[in-house]
Amino acid sequence: MFFKTLTEHFEKLEATTSRLAMMDILVHLFRETPPNLMDKVVYLTLGEVYPPYVGLEIGLADKLVLRAISLATGIQDSRVEQEYKTLGDSGLVAEKLLSTRRKAALFSQPLTVEKVYSTFEKMCRISGEGAQDTKIKLFAGLLTDATPKEAKYLSRIASGRLRLGVAEMTILDALAIAYGGSRELRDIIERAYNITSDIGLIAKALAEGGVDAIKSIRITVGRPIKPQLAERLSSLNEILGKLNGKCIAEYKYDGLRIQAHISDGTVLLFSRRQENITKQFPDIVEVLRKCLKAREAILDGEAVPVDPNTGELLPFQVVAQRRRKYDIDRYAEEIPVTLFLFDILYLDGIDLTVKPYLERKKVLETVIEETDRVKLAQYIISGNIEEIENFFHKAIQDGTEGLICKSILPDSIYEAGKRGWQWIKWKRSYRSEMVDTVDLVAVGAFAGRGKRAGTYGALLMAVYNPEKDRFETICKLGSGFTDEDLARLPEIFKPYLISHKHPRVESNMEADYWFIPAIVAEVIGDEITLSPMHTCGFGIIRPKSGLAIRFPRLIRFREDKRPEDATTTAEIVEMYRMQLKTIEEETSIDTTS
C-alpha cells in the first residue's frame, strides 16, 4: 500500500471538523487497506507506532526532525531553523523545503506504508550510544523518498504531533461500518478493544477474520484492560434504589489506580490510562510476587501512600511523586505505598470479568495473602442506610474519600472501560455549596493582563459529554494557581496549542488560545449556577442556558486522567439538581404547624 494513499486521507481528515465526515473518510480508508496492514494504518492514523501501553515512541524532538530535513535536502541547518521559526511546525518546514528540492533523489521509490512503518519501528527500538544519530539518519532516509506532502505527515508523526483530531471511538465506529455495520458489531468491537487496549490488534483481527476473530479475542496477561469507572450520586437512598436495595459498600481510597498483571512471578503494573508503570513501583512488584497463591492473575486496586511510622493513609499528592524516572529506589523508601486490592479480573486461564462481583471478591480473598503492603479493600455488604452511613464516616476518618457502592446483582460483571451504575461513588454531602471537586479539561485560555501579562489570565475549562463525544465549557479558571504555576502555563500547554477551536469542543466563548483537550485539572467551586455563556448541559435545565461553576479554584493538575475521564455533563446536571433540592429542603417553611 502506498503511503500516498494514507496521506491523502490524512489531508481530508485534517480538513474537516465534522465527526460524521471523519467517519466516512476512515471507512473509505479502511476499505482501501489490505487486511494485513490494518493495524499499522490505524496506529499511524493515531500518530502512534504501538499501542500506548507498550511504552515505545519515536519521540524525535523537533530539533532532530529539522536536522533530518537538512540531511535529506542538503539545505543548511541555519536556513531550516529559520523556516521553523517562521512556520512553527516541523511538518510545514519539511513540506516547504522538500518542494524546493530541484529533483527527487535519483533512485527514489514511492514510499509504502510497510516501509514507513518498519522504519518507524526501528526508530522506536534504537537505544544506547549513537541512537540519536541513527534515528536522524533513518528518518532522513524516509524524507529522501518522500513527496513534500508525505514529508509533512512523516515529520508530524515522528515528532509526536500528528493531531488529526480522530478519536479512538470514531475509529471503532468506522471499523463497525466498514465491516458489516450493525450496532451489535459495534458493541462487540468496543468490548474487544476495552479488554485489550490495542486498537490496531482489533482492526487487524476484524479485517482478517471478521466478527468471529473479534469474538475470540481473550483477556491476556500483559495487555491492560480498560478500568471500570464509577457513576456518582449524592444520597444513599438513591444509591440503594439504583442497586436494588443492597450493595457492597467499599472504601474509596485516594491514590493511584493500578492494574497488576502477574504471571509466574513476573509482574507488570499499568496505570488508569494503561501506561506501563512497573519501573516506578519496584516495592509493589516485590510484594505482589509473593502474595499471590496462584500462577497467573490480573488484579485491580488503588496504591495509597502510607505514613511509615503510624500506618495512616496520606493524601494523594504524596503518591503522585512516585511517578518519576529517576531516584526511584530512594522515593520507594521515603514514600512507601500500600496497594488496596478490590477486584480480580483473571485467574489461571479463567476470565473473571464475566462473573458477578461477589464471586470475584470471593476468588480475590482466597488467592491473596495480605501483608502490610498488599491489603484487601475494606467493605461491608448491607442494605441498611444507617449501617452504611456509619461505615462512610469510618471511611472518612480512616483517610479515604468516602465509599464506592457496588452492585451485587447477578449481572454485576466487570464492565471494562465503562462508567456505569454498577459502581456508584458517594463522596460527601453536596449541601448547597459545592464540597466535592470536579475534574475538568482545559480547552482554551485567555491572555493575561497586568500582573499576568505574558502568561494566561484564565483557562477555559470543560466537562466531557460521552453521548456526544465532545467537551462542553463550564468555567473560566483563574484562581488557585501559584505564581510559579502561572508562569509555567504557556509552556505546559505549548504542545497542545492549535490555531482554532478543537472539533470536539463546544464553546460559545471566543478564547484567545485554543488547545487540544488533553490536560485535566481538579477544581472546586462555590456552587453550580445557570449560565447562558457556557455550553455544559445546554438546554437541559432551562432553554438557552447551560451550567457553570461559580468561583472555581484549581486544586491540582491530574496527569493520571485522560480528558475522557473528566467529570461528565450528566454528573454536573445531577449535582445541580441535588443542590437545588438541598436548598429547597433547607429553606422550606413547615406550613402545617
Q: Which residues bind ligand AMP (CB under 6 A)?
A: 227, 229-230, 250-253, 257, 272, 302, 342, 377, 404, 425
Q: Three-state secondary structure along 263-302?
A: ECCEEEEECCCCCECHHHCHHHHHHHHHHECCCEEEEEEE
What are residue 301's DSSP bridge partners?
Answer: 258, 341
The answer to whether 91 touches 155, Cβ cutoff 8 Å, is yes
Ramachandran category for residue 74: left, alpha or beta (phi over 0 → left; psi -120 to 50 → alpha): left
Smallest gap from Cβ 445 to ligand AMP, in A, equals: 25
Q: How far is the CB of 560 from ligand AMP (least distance, A)?
A: 8
Sign of CA dihedral 424, 431, 535, 459: negative
Q: Which is nearer to ligand AMP, 193 or 414 (CB)?
A: 414
Which position among 135, 252, 427, 501 bears the catalytic label?
Answer: 252
Amino acid at 565: D
Rounded least distance, CB 419 to ligand AMP, Å: 8
Q: How far is the CB of 243 from ligand AMP (least distance, A)?
A: 14
Grid cell in block for residue 465: 459529554
Q: Would the CA dihedral through 245, 247, 249, 255 be positive or negative? A: negative
d(CA 79, CA 63): 13
Beta bridge partners of 403: 251, 426
Residue closer to ligand AMP by CB (options 190, 343) is: 343
Query: Which lies closer to ligand AMP via its Cβ, residue 251 or residue 456?
Result: 251
Q: Which of 88, 45, 44, 48 is nearest to 66 (CA)?
A: 88
Nearest distance in Å: CB 270, ligand AMP: 12
Residues 102-140, buried b or exposed e (16+ Cβ, 10 A)? eeeeeeeeebbbebbbebbeebbeeeeeeeeeebbebbb
Q: Which is nearer to ligand AMP, 158 or 239 (CB)?
A: 239
Our CB check for ligand AMP shows the closer of 272 and 360 to be 272
- Comparing every residue's Cβ against ligand AMP, the nearest one is 257
* 138/291 with CB nearer ligand AMP: 291
CB of 171 to ligand AMP, least distance (A): 24
Judged by CB, which is closer to ligand AMP: 230, or 541? 230
Phi, psi of 483 (to 5 degrees): -60, -40
φ/ψ of 250, rounded to 5, equals: -125, 145
Query: Is-contact 215 43, C-beta < 8 A?
Result: no
Chain-centroid distance of CA 338 in Å reads 24
Least spacing, CB of residue 252 vs ligand AMP, in Å: 4
Nearer to ligand AMP, 21 or 230 (CB): 230
Backbone angles phi, psi at 334, to 5 degrees: -75, -35
Half-sphere exposure of 322 (CA within 13 A, CB side): 29
CB of 517 to ligand AMP, least distance (A): 17
Is there a catalytic annotation at residue 252? yes
**Catalytic sites, residue numbers:** 252
